[in-house]
Every structure is written in structure tokens, then in C-alpha cells.
Amino acid sequence: MEVVTNIKEHEWKKFLDTCDTATIYHTPEWKKVIENTFNYRPYYIFARNDSGEIVGMLPMFHVRSKLAGEILCCVPFAHECGPIGDMQEILVEEGINLYSNMENGSGKNHSNRQIEIKNSINTGFQLENTFSNYTLDLSTVGNTWNLIHKSIRRYVKKSLEKVEISKSNCIEDAENFYDVNCKNKKDKGIITHPKDFFFNLVRLIPPENIDIYLAKLDDKIIGGTMNLSFKNKVFYGFGATDPRYIDYHPLYGCLWKSIEDACLDDYRIYDFGIASYNDIGMVNFKKRWGTIEKKIYYSYYPVTTTEKQASTRYHQVMTKVIRKMPMQIYKKFSDIFWINHWARYF
């Protein structure tokens, strides 16, 4: 067995094809999306067997944030990601060695530096559980529909009575989704991902692995979702509703249409992502889609007794400021946050 850092893409993909626990976040395409959008530095570690075949991997990015510190993250914008395949303990050890060498090489105090793996590492890491993941088991369209709470079914029906749902994976609709996402996020008082992120998803993820669902009312886009897929799973990546049209429930129509298509295309799992235990509204929303809840543990190295505390006052002030911004200023402000590494990376 040996550990390597540079391999050919076809070897990488061949390994992913044989690894049951591989996700879209382990693919070379996801690596390209993050590199091309945020300029984070990748550190991908692979394990070979005696025959020279790839049998394991640990993907990581070095993320510098002026608010969150420096983190070797596995990986940005994934809700669950860790080492896969064989030799996982050795791969994690290599990650720790990388962390140690980076720390010693700069000659600076790195009290605000960590490794974050979005999965459970039981030896030498500190486990934290603040989220749960919610997944819907798919079968036939009818059986899956019956799993969904009646209140959700009611909103879906109301949406589909008035709203037209379209499906594509083109750049034009990536921009349309970005625009409605900005309206949604600005209304909530939070920054949005930069436009290039959504563009790069469409440009770099294979067409068969990404879908954009848009809800239209009289040719006006009032909501949408962007979904990713890999193997037997569809990931609900991003969703947005124009706050002026919330009574039309466009998100519900888009979600159901994407679930229906996933059933027809023989996917087995629809992944709604994670929700914080503090966000009761989001937890209830995801549960009512008939999902199964699974606690998610993130692993941190080194172990620390310092509690992570969010600046409530800071977020309150930022929320008020963002809501009052004109849209064009809001978009530029969001991009500046990402470019200067002030934003959170997940």
C-alpha cells in the first residue's frame, strides 16, 4: 500500500465507480467547481494497493476565512464528506501530517487553525453534533407521494394549479436561478453564493448530474431549485422563492417535480441535506417530506476545550444591513465577502 497525491482522472473515477460510499462531493468535478469559484487550495490524498489501483481517498481544501480562521476542510459546501474506501486511518494520519507541516512551515501562531472532516473520525478527533441529515426513500411515484405529510401535499397541489415547472441544466437558467436566489437570500438578510458558483456547477458538473427546476408564473420566474445527482441519490442542493410570490408555494412545486422525476429515473434516495437543531422551522419542513432523520457528526482536530460561539449581535446587525441594500449592491457585497474570505465556507 502507498499514499499518493497526484493521480489521473480516469483512475479516480474508476475508484469512485466501485466505492459504495462515494458521493458527488468526492468527484473531480466538485474539486474543479470549488477551485474555479473560490480559489481554495486542494489537498487530495489517495491510497494505492499493491496492484497500483486506487482503493481509498481523503479530499480536503485549505480554506482561509477572516471570520472562521484557517481550516483544512473535507470538503467545502458538502453537508457530509469524509475519507472513503480502504486505508482510512492512514489517510487521516496523512491529513494530520499535512496540517502539522503547514503549521510549522509558516512560523506563526495557528490557534485558530483546524482540520474539519464532515463525518465521524473516532480516534484523536473531537466530534460535534449540531445537525441532522434528512433523506427520503424513493420507490414508485404513488408510494413516495403517500409518505409526504398532507400539509406538504396541499402546498404542492396549490403550486401546480398556478405555476408552471420547467427543467433544464443550461447557463441561462443558472443565471435565472441565481437572480431569484438573491431575492430570497436578501429578504432573509444573508449573503448569497457568487454567480460564478452556480455557473461553474452547470459548466463543470456532467449534464446528467445536475438539474435546474424553475417555477414560472405568467413567464415570470418566482422560485426554483438546483439539484445534483450521483449513483442512486439525488441531492437537493439549493432552493429559493421570490418573497413576493410566497403564497404560490413555488418551492414546493419544484421539489415535488424533482422528486417525481427521481422516482421515474430509478433513484433510490432523495437527500434534503442538513438542518440545525436550532432551526425548528427548517427541521419541521424537511421532516414533513417523509424523510428519515440521521444525526450528523463533524470531526475536528486538534481536540479543544474552547466552545465555538456565534456573534449574535453581529448577525443581527448584518441581517438588517443586508435587507436594506439595493439588489445590485447586495450582489457585489456578497461577492466581496467570498473573494476576501469573510464568508463561511459551508
- Domains of the chain (ranges plus CATH)? 2-131+300-339 (3.40.630), 133-294 (3.40.630.30)
Sign of CA dihedral 89, 132, 241, 153: positive
Q: So what's the pLDDT on residue 104?
A: 44
Cβ atoms within 10 Å of 258's Cβ, excluding its own: 23
279 φ, ψ to 5°?
Answer: -95, 80
Give the N- to C-terminal CA distance of the chain in Å, as an integer: 33
pLDDT at 142: 97
Cα angle 313-237-12, degrees, rounded to a multiple of 5: 120
pLDDT one digit per residue (tens) for the chain, 346 residues? 677 888 999 999 999 999 999 999 999 999 999 999 998 999 999 999 999 999 999 999 998 876 667 889 999 999 999 999 999 999 999 999 988 887 544 444 455 689 999 999 988 999 999 999 999 999 999 999 999 999 999 999 999 999 999 999 999 999 999 999 999 999 999 999 999 999 999 999 999 999 999 999 999 999 999 999 999 999 999 999 999 999 999 999 999 999 999 999 999 999 999 999 999 999 999 999 999 999 999 999 998 765 555 556 767 888 999 999 999 999 999 988 887 655 554 5
The C-alpha torsion from 260 through 256 and 286 to 288, rounded to 10°, is: -90
Residues contacting residue 214 through CB under 8 Å, at least 6 positions apart = 165, 166, 168, 173, 176, 177, 180, 221, 223, 224, 254
Please state the pTM of the whole predicted model: 0.92
DSSP 8-class letter at 118: B
Cα dist from 339 to 114, 203, 256, whole Å:
21, 20, 35
Q: Which residues pair with 193 in a beta bridge?
A: none
Question: Which amino acid type is present at position 195?
Answer: K
| Virtual torsion, Cα 228, 229, 234, 237, nearest 10 deg | -10
